Chains A and B, each alone.
Chain A
Amino acid sequence: MSLQFIVDGLLTGSMIGLGAIGVTLTYSILRFSNFAHGDFMAWGTYATLAVVSAIGATFGKVAPIGPLSFGWPLIVALIVGMAFTALLALLLDKVLFARLRSQGQAIIVVMASFGASMALRSLLEFTFTSRPTYFSRAIQIAMPVGFGIRITPDQIALLLLTAVLVLGVHLLMTRTQTGRAMQALSQNAALARIVGIDVASVVRVTWIIGGALACVAGVMIGILVQIRPFMGFDMLLPMFAAAILGGIGSIPGAVLGGLIIGLAEAGAVQLIGAEWRAAVSFIILMAVLFVRPIGLFGVRER
């Protein structure tokens, strides 16, 4: 078999992994499965697209950076999109999740996230139609890098971006007071308050990180595949599978889980056929739940 599946798998895995970080953080800190997380991705991507278009309308055509398919407008737009998605997540928490959370029943919050997911998705379809769109229609030439593997400059840039973001979030979680407060809150909420942690502010940081990374994952899909209102929703199963495979609450686990699922999907496409791609996440999810429900880096609850 061709080793090309490694590049494809790492890319898909990066998108899944970045999304899974948000899923795993929301689950471990706010204690609910946020099914609207995929729609944060899609909203972030459309927001980024809108900013790119606005910049294009103002400054005219901007030359791409080096061999990449995009120029500085996309980078600026991505940063704006990340901020927008973080705000969207904060807003949704304020008007919906926070109120339900205070009533103390997790399942209601989960159901509300289903509803929010549908509403957000429908709004996108209503505004932008369900027709796929693209950041760029330029075709990039993939460079051979040996062993029969080809990779485009965009793909290299996005893999590097993923690595930087994951490292950044990992350092934030393990080396800063904010990160320690997040860990503390996920392990024992009552004790976190006792040691002086303001739960509301930690919850805000959680949404900001999750939302911003969801936007990056969405834009990656937009650059490498296409932009559709369903793009994020379709990532839900792989993202949850990655978060559970990695062990809920673990950032490195979510990313590694994403990469494993990405590689498994890409391998399955080559070996069995593309129609089995979607089954891979499902099979891995079931296998983890049967064999090691706490995941790779998970720890049994007390």
Chain B
Amino acid sequence: MSEIVLDVRNLEAGYEPGVPIVRGASITVSKGEIVVVLGPNGAGKSSFIKAIAGLVPITGGTVFLDGKDITAAPAHTMVRLGLAFVPQTENIFPLMSVEDNLKVACGILERGEIPARIDEMYAAFPDLIRQRRTAAGNLSGGQRQMLAVARALIVHPKVLVLDEPSAGLSPKFVSMVFEMLAGIRKSGVTILLVEQNAKAALAIGDRAYVLVEGKDRHEGIASELWNDPVVAELYLGQRPLKAEKAPHAGEGGAA
């Protein structure tokens, strides 16, 4: 676990100029790791991860993927560069069939490779094959999440980036989704995820960062962070940070 796949340095990003939501956050993700980004509501987690994926304008800092500077790359070129993003909500095309949802993401694959790749996804996510002709909008919450992840994995990404994969799911599906991610990591895929559900995320993660007010404030081994008093303080704000400001508007609006 030495080769760094994703290297984010002093990232600043926000929807409006002069109003940064992400304020100098730095993280690294090494090959084969699961890295979790935690943080209280409004910490800018979602904006942070969206900025990496090219969806929130970056105003400062750099993002390297496999040593290549992708800071200015437009969102639609990210899959080609090797970064596949799974948004928190609305992460499937509801009126298209499950199969078409997978096919539409295959734009960068060789034409001949596509059927085999789709079969591989069905093998990895057997729930989907039974629903291949179903409109994706009719899937259950857990199955939607599976489809969204399968669609991201289909292009052999160097890093899979997920924005709160457990959001809005019932507890049964939450554990299913995290089991799925642990399984994906075993197959060699590098994962970066942002999570509100710290306990479940730390259980499958290797390392974790705590993001507060748009900046990475703490870093550690995932299994140790759950009992780390600093994390509790950062989360609950017992030890005042710079100022007890209201959370920035970006997080809720961006979600």
Q: Please give the residue numbers on chain A whose beta carbons come within 8 Å of chain B beta carbons, in ascending order.
A: 177, 180-181, 183-184, 187-188, 190-199, 299, 302
**Residues A194 and B78 in contact, CB atoms below 8 Å apart:** yes
- Point out the residues of chain A lying under 8 angstroms from B78, CB to CB: 194, 196
With beta carbons under 8 angstroms apart, the residue of A184, A193, A299 that contacts B75 is A193
Interface membership of B151, Cβ < 8 A? yes
- Point out the residues of chain A lying under 8 angstroms from B90, CB to CB: 188, 190-191, 302
**Residues A177 and B104 in contact, CB atoms below 8 Å apart:** yes
With beta carbons under 8 angstroms apart, the residue of A183, A187, A195, A198 that contacts B105 is A195
**Residues A196 and B87 in contact, CB atoms below 8 Å apart:** no
- Point out the residues of chain B lying under 8 angstroms from A198, CB to CB: 76
**Residues A183 and B95 in contact, CB atoms below 8 Å apart:** yes
**Residues A194 and B94 in contact, CB atoms below 8 Å apart:** no
**Residues B107 and A181 in contact, CB atoms below 8 Å apart:** yes
**Residues A183 and B93 in contact, CB atoms below 8 Å apart:** yes
**Residues B107 and A196 in contact, CB atoms below 8 Å apart:** yes
**Residues B95 and A195 in contact, CB atoms below 8 Å apart:** no
- Point out the residues of chain B lying under 8 angstroms from A192, CB to CB: 76
- Point out the residues of chain A lying under 8 angstroms from B75, CB to CB: 190, 193-194
Ordered by A's residue number, 6 sampled pairs between the chains whose C-beta atoms are within 8 Å are: A184-B96, A190-B55, A194-B76, A195-B104, A196-B77, A197-B107
Distance in Å from the Cβ of B96 to the closest Cβ of chain A? Answer: 6
Known: A199-B76, A299-B95, A302-B137. A190 touches B87 (CB 8 A): yes
B67-83: which have CB < 8 Å to A?
Answer: 74-80
**Residues B96 and A187 in contact, CB atoms below 8 Å apart:** yes
**Residues B93 and A196 in contact, CB atoms below 8 Å apart:** no
| A302 to B91 Cα, complex, angstroms | 12
**Residues A183 and B96 in contact, CB atoms below 8 Å apart:** yes
Quick one: closest B residue to A178, CB to CB?
B107
Distance in Å from the Cβ of A251 to the closest Cβ of chain B? Answer: 13
Given contacts A177-B106, A193-B75, A194-B87, 14 further A-B contacts (CB under 8 A): A180-B96, A183-B95, A183-B100, A183-B104, A187-B94, A191-B90, A193-B55, A194-B76, A195-B151, A196-B105, A196-B108, A197-B107, A299-B95, A302-B90
Distance in Å from the Cβ of B92 to the closest Cβ of chain A? Answer: 8
Interface membership of B209, Cβ < 8 A? no
- Point out the residues of chain A lying under 8 angstroms from B95, CB to CB: 183, 187, 299
Q: Please give the residue numbers on chain B whose beta carbons come within 8 Å of chain A beta carbons, in ascending order.
A: 53-55, 74-80, 85, 87, 90-96, 100, 103-108, 137, 151, 155
Distance in Å from the Cβ of B42 to the closest Cβ of chain A? Answer: 21
| A177 to B102 Cα, complex, angstroms | 11
Closest 5 pairs between A and B when the two form their complex, measured CB to CB: A196-B79, A193-B75, A195-B105, A180-B104, A193-B76
| A197 to B55 Cα, complex, angstroms | 14
**Residues A197 and B53 in contact, CB atoms below 8 Å apart:** no
| A199 to B85 Cα, complex, angstroms | 17
- Point out the residues of chain A lying under 8 angstroms from B100, CB to CB: 180, 183
Distance in Å from the Cβ of B9 to the closest Cβ of chain A? Answer: 23
| A183 to B76 Cα, complex, angstroms | 16
| A195 to B84 Cα, complex, angstroms | 8
| A191 to B53 Cα, complex, angstroms | 11
Quick one: which of A188, A195, A199 has the most chain B CB within 10 A?
A: A195
With beta carbons under 8 angstroms apart, the residue of A181, A190, A197, A302 that contacts B94 is A302
- Point out the residues of chain A lying under 8 angstroms from B94, CB to CB: 187, 302
Known: A177-B103, A196-B105, A197-B76. A191 touches B91 (CB 8 A): yes
| A184 to B76 Cα, complex, angstroms | 13
- Point out the residues of chain A lying under 8 angstroms from B87, CB to CB: 190-191, 194
**Residues A196 and B96 in contact, CB atoms below 8 Å apart:** no
Distance in Å from the Cβ of A185 to the closest Cβ of chain B? Answer: 10
| A194 to B87 Cα, complex, angstroms | 9
Quick one: closest A residue to B111, CB to CB?
A177
- Point out the residues of chain B lying under 8 angstroms from A195, CB to CB: 79, 104-105, 107, 151
Distance in Å from the Cβ of B17 to the closest Cβ of chain A? Answer: 16
| A182 to B77 Cα, complex, angstroms | 17
| A299 to B53 Cα, complex, angstroms | 30
**Residues A184 and B53 in contact, CB atoms below 8 Å apart:** no
| A184 to B108 Cα, complex, angstroms | 16
- Point out the residues of chain A lying under 8 angstroms from B79, CB to CB: 194-196
- Point out the residues of chain B lying under 8 angstroms from A197, CB to CB: 76, 104, 107
- Point out the residues of chain B lying under 8 angstroms from A196, CB to CB: 76-80, 105, 107-108, 155
- Point out the residues of chain A lying under 8 angstroms from B107, CB to CB: 177, 181, 195-197
Quick one: which of A183, A184, A187, A196 has the most chain B CB within 10 A?
A: A196
Quick one: closest B residue to A250, CB to CB?
B95
**Residues B103 and A180 in contact, CB atoms below 8 Å apart:** yes
**Residues A184 and B93 in contact, CB atoms below 8 Å apart:** yes
| A194 to B107 Cα, complex, angstroms | 12
Distance in Å from the Cβ of B165 to the closest Cβ of chain A? Answer: 15
- Point out the residues of chain A lying under 8 angstroms from B76, CB to CB: 192-194, 196-199
| A180 to B104 Cα, complex, angstroms | 6
| A166 to B181 Cα, complex, angstroms | 44
